[in-house]
């Protein structure tokens, strides 16, 4: 079935009634990466149509927990062509990010079509451009495609032995909103990335009776800001420096700025900060975790090994019986159904090319938002958008 019309799903922007005929650039995903790419393409005089499977832009941001703020500064988190308002403050809240994305669409007059999910991308039949299989069997043809479906796409909970027998509450961090349901309860948070660390602090401040934090790999912890200097600024400055040099400098800075929490169960990592970043693990920015661990209000414990009815068995053999387990265990990119058949993903399911570069075997296919850089994801998506737009404009 070939159909050039998509359901707008409540969107006020034009439905693509003639999209197939004039072959725009399709942008898959209406989050910050996709909107930035569409705006940058428009600035280059290239028509871009954003296809968003949800009912609104910024869908993943709308689902984040209530207390979330960007860990990057307002100044360095703006997307191309529209600064973030000063009234948002230095660390922008979740709700203000959503407001900004809505305003971004309006300001740039972007073509956004909601309620349309793309399930597969193939080469167009004539060998030029790309064919998208979308909701309801529709087929849309574009001259180029930007995939911006998001770093945090599909929640991942490990397949722990006995998980299905657990009699307490088990949920992924993506389903957590605020601490109110957990007041007076014993909660285990699994995973000590930025999300797990912040949820643990949120639970303590919200009245949970006990909060434990299961740690498999000890994280690097950095202060979000030191004497007014944001950690993001350091990340920008060191991003192009040799990994070993940044590792050494990071170790020295940590010893000065972050107390030794080994006695509380959170020793210093034995691998370098930037080495970890290169392997995909960014540092935890402290928004209260250090004080909570020092004060015994958040207690680090060993990694989760398995479940046994009301008990959680930890890697050191300890059995605990929390009322609830919140798994801050990350997400899958889930790109395989969309582009896995094109040979453009590595062994970990990540795009082999990113930003303004395209895979050699798939010219005209771009990816943005699938890295988690030390310099800030919003900033890098903004840079990616401009690189993609310039490359597309040169090749069409």
Query: 276 pLDDT band (50/70/90 cuts)?
Result: confident
C-alpha to C-alpha distance for 29 and 77, rounded to whole angstroms: 18
In this structure, the strands spanning 144-147 and 25-28 are: parallel
Whether the pLDDT of residue 20 is over 80: the answer is no
Q: Which residues contact 202 (CB under 8 A, 6 or more apart)?
A: 65, 67, 178, 179
**Both tokens assigned to 85:** 């308002």
CATH number of 156-327: 3.50.50.60
**Both tokens assigned to 313:** 């068995």
The reply to whether 156-327 shares the fold of 19-153+333-395 is yes
CA 52: distance to chain centroid?
16
Confidence (pLDDT) at 127: 81
Share of the chain above pLDDT 70, in %: 94
Q: Give 110's DSSP letter.
A: -
Sheet holding 324-327, edge to edge: 169-172, 324-327, 186-190, 210-215, 298-302
Q: Give 69's DSSP letter.
A: B
Burial of 248 per CB tally in 10 Å (0-12, 13-18, 19+): middle
List the chain domain ranges. 19-153+333-395, 156-327
The Cβ of residue 186 has, within 10 Å, a number of other Cβ atoms equal to: 16
pLDDT tens string 92-140: 999 999 999 999 999 999 999 999 999 999 999 888 899 999 998 889 9
pLDDT tens string 127-139: 889 999 999 888 9
What is the Cβ-side half-sphere exposure of residue 139, based on CA atoms within 13 angstroms? 9
Fold of 19-153+333-395: FAD/NAD(P)-binding domain (3.50.50)
pLDDT tens string 233-251: 999 988 889 999 999 998 9
Confidence (pLDDT) at 19: 34
For residue 193, which of 167, 232, 219 has the smallest C-alpha distance? 219
């Amino acid at each position: 079935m070939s159909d050039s019309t998509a359901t707008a799903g409540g969107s006020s922007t034009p439905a693509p009634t003639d999209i197939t005929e004039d072959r725009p650039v399709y942008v898959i995903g209406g989050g910050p990466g996709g909107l930035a790419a569409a705006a940058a393409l428009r600035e280059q005089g290239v028509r871009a149509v954003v296809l968003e499977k949800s009912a609104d832009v910024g869908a993943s941001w709308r689902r984040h927990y209530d207390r979330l703020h960007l860990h990057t500064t307002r100044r360095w988190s703006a997307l191309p062509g529209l600064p973030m308002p000063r009234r948002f403050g230095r660390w922008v809240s979740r709700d203000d990010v959503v407001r900004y994305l809505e305003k971004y669409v309006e300001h740039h007059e972007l073509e956004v079509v909601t309620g349309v999910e793309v399930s597969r991308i193939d080469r167009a039949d004539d060998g030029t451009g790309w064919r998208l299989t979308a909701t309801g069997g529709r087929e849309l043809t574009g001259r180029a495609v930007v995939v911006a479906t998001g770093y945090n796409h599909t929640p991942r909970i490990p397949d722990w032995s006995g998980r299905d027998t657990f009699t307490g509450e088990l949920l992924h961090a993506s389903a957590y909103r605020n601490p109110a349901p957990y007041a007076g309860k014993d909660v285990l948070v699994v995973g000590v990335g930025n999300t797990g660390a912040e949820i643990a602090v949120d639970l303590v401040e919200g009245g949970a009776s006990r909060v434990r934090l299961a740690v498999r790999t000890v994280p690097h912890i950095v202060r979000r800001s030191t004497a007014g200097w944001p950690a993001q600024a350091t990340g920008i400055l060191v991003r192009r420096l040799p990994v070993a040099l940044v590792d050494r400098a990071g170790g020295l800075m940590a010893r000065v700025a972050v107390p030794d929490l080994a006695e509380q169960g959170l020793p210093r990592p034995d691998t370098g900060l930037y080495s970890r970043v290169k392997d995909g693990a960014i540092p935890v920015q402290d928004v209260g975790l250090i004080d909570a661990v020092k004060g015994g209000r958040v207690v680090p414990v060993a990694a989760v090994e398995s479940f046994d009815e009301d008990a959680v068995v930890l890697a050191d053999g300890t059995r605990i019986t929390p009322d609830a387990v919140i798994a801050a265990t990350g997400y899958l990119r889930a790109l395989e159904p969309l582009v896995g058949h094109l040979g453009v993903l590595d062994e970990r399911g990540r795009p082999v090319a990113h930003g303004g570069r395209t895979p050699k075997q798939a010219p005209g296919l771009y990816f943005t938002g699938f890295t988690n850089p030390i310099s800030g994801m919003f900033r890098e998506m903004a840079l990616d958008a401009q690189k993609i737009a310039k490359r597309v404009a040169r090749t069409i």
